[in-house]
Amino acid sequence: MNITFSELRRIKHQLPTGSVSRIAKELNLTEQTVRNYFGAKKYDQGQIVDKHVRPGPHGGYVNLSDTTILDSANRILNEVHAASLS
């Protein structure tokens, strides 16, 4: 899947507090692995995040080989949206 870096960061910034921890626990990852997926560049002794960034507008394009973390983030955003409509 291809997504702009800006869009990936926008999704991360929309997540409610505690979402990185929740995603990490649900997927059995370190929190830093989840942060790195969304653009952080800190060394992580956890799993390798499989993404490739190519230069381009809006921070470049990110090719995500595995969208599991992104899918979890979108699920959380959908839950928040549904709760706000109730």
Confidence of residue 59 (pLDDT cuts 50, 70, 90): confident
What percentage of the chain carries pLDDT values higher than 70? 86
Please compute the mean of the pLDDT values over residues 59-76 and round it to a whole number.
92
Between the alpha carbon of residue 34 and those of residues 25, 54, 56, 86, the distances in Å are 10, 20, 23, 29
Contacts 24+ apart (CB under 8 A), 80-85: 80/16
Tell me the C-alpha distance between 80 and 7, whole Å. Answer: 18
Looking at every residue in the chain, the average pLDDT score rounds to: 87
Cα angle vertex 40, ends 54, 61, to 5°?
20
Rounded to two decimals, what is the model's pTM?
0.82
| Domain hosting residue 73, numbered range | 2-85
What percentage of the chain carries pLDDT values higher than 90? 53
Q: Structurally, how many domains does the chain consist of?
A: 1
Confidence of residue 49 (pLDDT cuts 50, 70, 90): low
Identify the pLDDT of residue 30: 92
Q: What DSSP state is assigned to residue 81?
A: H
